[in-house]
C-alpha cells in the first residue's frame, strides 16, 4: 500500500494500463444496498459549482451500479494545525477545535435529504477529542435524515505532520461508536486508512472500513489490494475511494472509469458496500455544466518598484492589465497590496522554489550535482538539490507563511524543476550536451531504494553513477526525477491551500515541447506536465521567443503542446525587452506578433515579463493597450475562451 508521501521518499510510481472489465457481482454480505457516490471536501475539487452539482454527481455515480443508492463522504472537519477546523460555527470547542463563521453544509444536506442520499460526515481529528467532534457534528446535523453516521480519517488521528495516524484500538472504536449512537441508535462509524493494521482488530459491528490506497500501478493491482482489504475485515462492510490523480495515468484510459473500477471491485470484494470517487478529479470525470467562459488573464510580472503604487496600478488598468504577478519581497509592501485590493486586481506572488542563492551560499552542500560531478550552476542560474528534506520543509513552511500573512489570490511557483540554463539553449542545441541532475548522494540513495536491481549503483561517484544509470535505468531515472519535482510541488500547494482554500496556483514551466531536444522536458527538466496540471490551476510556459531565437508563431505551438498534455489552462508569458541578444532589437511589431500568438486559443491569457522593461518602452506599452483592448472586445462579442480553471483546492493529504 503506497501513498503519495511515500512517493516523495522513494520516487517510485508504475504507470501500467488497466485490465478488461469483469462481470458485475453485488456484494454478498451487504445488508444495505450498495452506496455509490463521491468524497467531498472544501479543499479537494478544482471547482465547486454548488450543491446541485454534487447531487448530480452522486446520482450519476449510483446509476452506474444496479440497485445502488447515492452516498457521499462529506468532510465537515479538516486538519488545522494540531487540531480540527469544522465547517460550521462552533462555540466553546477549545483550542484544538475551531469553526467557520458560516455554515458550509446545510444547503447541500437539505438537497441530499430530498434526493434520498446517504451521507457520512467525516472529520480529520489530529489531536482533538474524537468524541467531542462527534457530538459537535451530530448536534448540528442529526436532524438531516440523509445522515447515516460519522467517519474518522485515521491517517490524521493523533498525527499532524504526515498522514500516518495512530492505530485505533478496539476500546477507542467502541467508545466512538457509542458516542455516535448516543445521538441515534441506527448511526454507524466509518474508519478510513490504507493500512489494515491501523484499524481495530476485533470491532466489526456497526463499522464500515474504508480503504483510500493510491499510487497503484494498474487496475489489476488496485483490485488485488482492495480484495485483500475486504478479506482483512470480512464479514464487515468495506468501502473504497477511487480516482486519485496518482492513478490517473491508467484509469484515464478506460472508457468509463467510475463504472470500470467499480465493477472490477464488486466482482472481487464480496463485502464491498461503498464506492466513492474522490473530489480531486471529480470535475474531470463529472464535468460541471454551463460554466461561463472567464475573461483572459492579462498579467504583468513586477519585481521592483519605488514609486506610488496607486499610480502604478492605475497605469496597469489603463493598459488593460487585470492581474499582477509580484515578486515575494515587493508583495510584502502593504501599500501595494492595498492599491491592488482597491482596484479589484488579483495578486499572484512569485515564489522561487529551487533557486536558492542564500541557502547555497550558506551551505554549498545543498547544490544539485550534475552528471559530471559539478555543482548545478551556470552564470546566475543555480539550483538546490530537490531531494534535500530540510530545504523542502523550509519551502513548504515559507509558502504557508506567505499565504497566511499576505492572503494573495494566487501563488506562482517558479524554479520548480531540475537544473538547466534554458534561456541559453538555442534551437540547434545538442540534446546530449544538456546538464543532467541531480547526482548527489541524497538523490542516488533515494533512486537506488526505489529501483529494483540498483544495488550496484555507485552512490558517491556522480560520473560513475550517471554512466551506470544511462546504461541500465534511463527510463526509471527520468521518472524518478519527475516524481521528485511533482511531490515537492504538491507539498507546497497543499500547504498554501490549507491556509487559503480558494488560492490559485500557477506553475512556471520551461518552454520546451514534448519532442524538443529528445524529450528534454521530461528527462532533463523533469516537469511532468500532466501531473503538475492535475494539481495546479495554470501551467505557465515562459515562451520568451526572442531570446531563444524562435519566431513569434512558435509561442502558439508551445501553448498547444502544453495544453495537449496538462489538462488545465495554459498561461504563457512573453518577453518585453531584449535579453541575452543584446546586439539585436526586439521591435514593437515583433513584440505585437508575440502577444497575439500567445493569446491564440487554447491560451488562457498572457503575462508580460516584465513591468520594469515595459515601463521604459512607451511604444510597446501602446501595443499592450491596443492588443489587450482587442482581447477584451473579443470576449464581449462572445469569442471562445478557454474553460474556467475554477477555484483550486487540494487536500491536506496528497491527491
Task: Let me know if residue 440 belongs to a domain.
Answer: no
Q: What is the pLDDT of residues 236-257, one digit of tens each?
A: 999 999 998 878 878 988 999 9
- Report residue 302's pLDDT band, with 50, 70 and 90 as the boundaries: very high
- pLDDT at site 16: 27
Higher pLDDT, 217 or 512: 512
Average pLDDT over residues 309-334: 97
Q: Return d(Cα 322, Cα 111) in angstroms, integer.
A: 37
* 285-289, 426-430, 436-440, range with the lowest pLDDT: 285-289
Residue 570: all three cell numbers together: 495554459
Q: Return d(Cα 198, Cα 191) in angstroms, integer.
A: 10
- pLDDT at site 207: 98
Mark whether 420 and 531 lie in a shared domain. Answer: yes
Q: What is the pLDDT of residues 370-417, one digit of tens each?
A: 999 999 999 999 999 999 999 999 999 999 999 999 999 999 999 999
- Report residue 348's pLDDT band, with 50, 70 and 90 as the boundaries: very high
- pLDDT at site 639: 44
Q: What is the pLDDT of residues 566-615, one digit of tens each?
A: 878 999 999 999 999 888 999 999 999 999 999 999 999 999 999 999 99
Task: Let me know if residue 556 belongs to a domain.
Answer: yes
- pLDDT at site 636: 54
Q: What's 242's domain CATH number?
A: 3.20.20
Task: Let me know if residue 495 belongs to a domain.
Answer: yes
Higher pLDDT, 289 or 520: 520
Q: Return d(Cα 132, Cα 127) in angstroms, integer.
A: 12
Those residues whose C-beta lies under 8 Å from the C-beta of residue 256, and which sit 6 or more positions away, are: 64
Residue 26 has pLDDT above 50, yes or no: no
Mark whether 186 and 121 lie in a shared domain. Answer: yes
Nearest CA-CA partner of 122 in 156, 83, 154, 74: 74
Mark whether 156 and 225 lie in a shared domain. Answer: yes
Mark whether 304 and 198 lie in a shared domain. Answer: no
H or E stretch including 273? Answer: strand 272-277
Mark whether 229 and 305 lie in a shared domain. Answer: no
* 32-41, 161-170, 625-634, range with the lowest pLDDT: 625-634
Mark whether 275 and 391 lie in a shared domain. Answer: no
Task: Let me know if residue 470 belongs to a domain.
Answer: no
- pLDDT at site 248: 83
Mark whether 265 and 346 lie in a shared domain. Answer: no
| Count of structural domains, the chain | 2
Measured CA angle at 610 (ends 319, 328), to 5 deg: 110
Q: What is the pLDDT of residues 455-468, one digit of tens each?
A: 899 999 999 999 99
- Quick one: three-class SS letters along 147-183? EEEEEEEHHHECCCCCCCCCCCCHHHHHHHHHHHHCC
Task: Let me know if residue 497 belongs to a domain.
Answer: yes
Mark whether 222 and 183 lie in a shared domain. Answer: yes
Task: Let me know if residue 222 belongs to a domain.
Answer: yes
Q: Return d(Cα 375, Cα 279) in angstroms, integer.
A: 41
Average pLDDT over residues 64-78: 97
Higher pLDDT, 410 or 92: 410
Task: Let me know if residue 250 belongs to a domain.
Answer: yes
Q: Considering 233, 257, 283, which residue would you say is the last residue of a domain?
A: 283
Mark whether 323 and 234 lie in a shared domain. Answer: no
- pLDDT at site 647: 30
Those residues whose C-beta lies under 8 Å from the C-beta of residue 552, and which sit 6 or more positions away, are: 545, 590, 593, 594, 596, 597
Mark whether 326 and 245 lie in a shared domain. Answer: no
Q: Considering 283, 314, 348, which residue would you say is the last residue of a domain?
A: 283
The domain in which residue 570 lies consists of 297-431+476-636
Q: What's 376's domain CATH number?
A: 3.20.20.80
72 in Cβ contact with 120 (< 8 Å): yes
Residue 164 has pLDDT above 90, yes or no: no
- pLDDT at site 577: 95
Mark whether 176 and 252 lie in a shared domain. Answer: yes
Mark whether 235 and 310 lie in a shared domain. Answer: no
* 5-9, 51-55, 77-81, 417-421, range with the lowest pLDDT: 5-9
- pLDDT at site 311: 97
- First-residue to last-residue Cα distance in the chain: 15
Residue 93 has pLDDT above 70, yes or no: no
Task: Let me know if residue 465 belongs to a domain.
Answer: no
Amino acid at each position: 500500500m503506497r501513498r503519495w508521501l511515500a512517493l516523495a521518499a522513494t520516487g517510485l510510481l508504475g504507470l501500467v494500463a488497466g485490465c478488461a472489465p469483469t462481470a458485475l457481482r453485488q456484494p454478498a454480505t451487504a445488508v444495505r444496498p450498495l452506496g455509490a457516490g463521491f468524497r467531498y471536501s472544501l479543499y479537494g475539487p478544482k471547482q465547486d459549482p454548488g450543491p446541485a452539482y454534487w447531487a448530480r454527481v452522486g446520482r450519476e455515480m449510483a446509476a452506474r451500479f444496479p440497485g445502488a443508492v447515492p452516498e457521499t463522504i462529506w468532510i465537515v472537519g479538516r486538519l488545522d494545525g494540531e487540531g480540527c477546523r469544522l465547517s460550521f460555527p462552533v462555540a466553546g470547542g477549545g483550542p484544538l477545535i475551531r469553526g467557520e463563521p458560516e455554515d458550509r453544509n446545510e444547503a447541500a444536506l437539505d438537497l441530499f435529504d430530498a434526493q434520498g442520499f446517504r451521507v457520512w460526515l467525516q472529520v480529520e481529528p489530529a489531536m482533538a477529542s474524537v468524541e467531542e467532534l462527534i457530538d459537535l457534528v451530530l448536534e448540528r446535523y442529526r436532524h438531516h435524515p440523509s445522515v447515516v453516521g460519522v467517519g474518522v480519517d485515521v491517517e490524521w488521528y493523533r498525527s499532524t505532520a504526515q498522514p500516518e495516524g495512530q492505530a485505533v484500538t478496539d476500546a477507542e472504536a467502541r467508545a466512538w461508536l457509542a458516542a455516535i449512537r448516543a445521538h441515534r441508535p441506527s448511526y454507524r462509524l466509518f474508519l478510513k486508512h490504507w493500512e489494515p493494521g491501523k484499524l481495530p482488530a476485533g470491532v466489526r459491528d456497526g463499522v464500515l472500513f474504508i480503504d483510500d490506497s493510491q499510487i497503484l500501478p494498474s487496475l489489476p493491482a488496485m483490485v488485488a489490494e482492495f480484495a485483500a482489504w475486504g478479506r482483512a475485515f470480512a464479514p464487515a462492510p468495506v468501502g473504497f475511494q477511487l480516482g486519485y490523480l496518482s492513478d490517473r495515468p491508467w484509469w484515464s484510459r478506460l472508457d468509463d472509469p467510475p463504472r470500470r473500477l467499480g465493477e472490477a471491485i464488486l466482482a472481487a470484494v464480496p463485502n464491498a458496500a461503498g464506492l466513492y470517487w474522490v473530489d480531486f478529479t471529480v470535475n474531470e470525470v463529472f464535468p460541471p455544466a454551463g460554466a461561463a467562459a472567464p475573461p483572459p488573464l492579462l498579467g504583468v510580472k513586477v519585481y521592483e518598484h519605488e514609486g506610488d503604487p496607486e499610480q502604478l496600478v492605475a497605469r496597469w488598468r489603463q493598459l488593460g492589465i487585470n492581474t499582477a504577478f509580484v515578486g515575494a519581497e515587493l508583495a510584502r509592501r502593504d501599500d501595494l497590496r492595498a492599491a491592488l485590493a482597491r482596484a479589484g486586481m488579483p495578486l499572484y506572488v512569485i515564489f522561487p522554489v529551487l533557486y536558492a542563492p542564500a541557502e547555497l551560499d550558506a551551505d554549498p552542500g545543498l547544490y544539485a550535482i550534475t552528471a559530471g560531478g559539478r555543482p548545478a550552476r551556470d552564470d546566475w542560474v543555480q539550483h538546490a538539490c530537490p531531494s534535500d528534506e530540510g530545504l523542502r520543509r523550509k519551502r513548504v513552511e515559507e509558502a504557508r507563511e506567505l499565504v497566511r500573512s499576505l492572503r494573495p489570490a494566487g501563488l506562482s511557483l517558479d524554479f520548480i524543476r531540475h537544473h538547466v540554463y534554458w534561456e541559453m539553449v538555442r534551437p540547434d542545441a545538442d540534446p546530449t550536451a544538456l546538464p543532467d541532475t541531480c547526482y548527489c548522494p541524497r538523490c542516488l540513495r533515494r533512486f537506488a531504494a526505489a529501483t529494483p536491481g540498483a544495488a550496484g549503483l555507485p552512490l558517491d561517484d556522480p560520473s560513475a553513477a550517471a554512466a551506470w544509470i544511462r546504461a541500465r535505468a534511463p527510463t526509471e531515472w527520468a521518472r524518478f526525477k519527475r516524481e521528485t519535482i511533482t511531490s515537492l510541488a504538491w507539498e507546497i500547494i497543499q500547504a498554501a491551500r490549507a491556509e487559503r482554500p480558494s488560492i490559485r496556483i500557477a506553475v512556471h514551466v520551461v518552454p520546451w515541447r514534448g519532442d524538443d531536444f529528445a524529450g528534454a522536458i521530461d528527462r532533463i527538466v523533469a516537469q511532468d506536465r500532466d501531473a503538475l496540471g492535475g494539481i495546479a490551476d495554470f501551467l505557465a510556459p515562459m515562451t520568451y521567443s526572442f531570446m531563444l531565437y524562435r519566431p513569434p508563431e512558435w509561442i502558439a505551438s508551445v501553448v498547444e503542446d502544453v495544453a495537449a498534455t496538462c489538462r488545465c489552462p495554459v498561461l504563457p508569458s512573453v518577453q518585453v525587452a531584449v535579453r541575452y541578444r543584446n546586439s539585436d532589437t526586439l521591435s514593437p511589431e515583433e513584440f505585437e506578433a508575440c502577444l497575439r500568438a500567445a493569446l491564440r486559443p487554447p491560451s488562457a491569457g498572457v503575462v508580460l515579463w516584465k513591468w520594469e522593461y515595459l515601463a521604459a518602452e512607451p511604444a510597446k506599452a501602446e501595443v499592450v493597450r491596443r492588443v489587450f483592448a482587442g482581447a477584451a472586445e473579443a470576449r464581449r462579442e462572445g469569442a471562445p475562451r478557454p474553460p474556467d480553471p475554477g477555484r483550486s483546492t487540494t487536500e491536506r493529504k496528497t491527491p
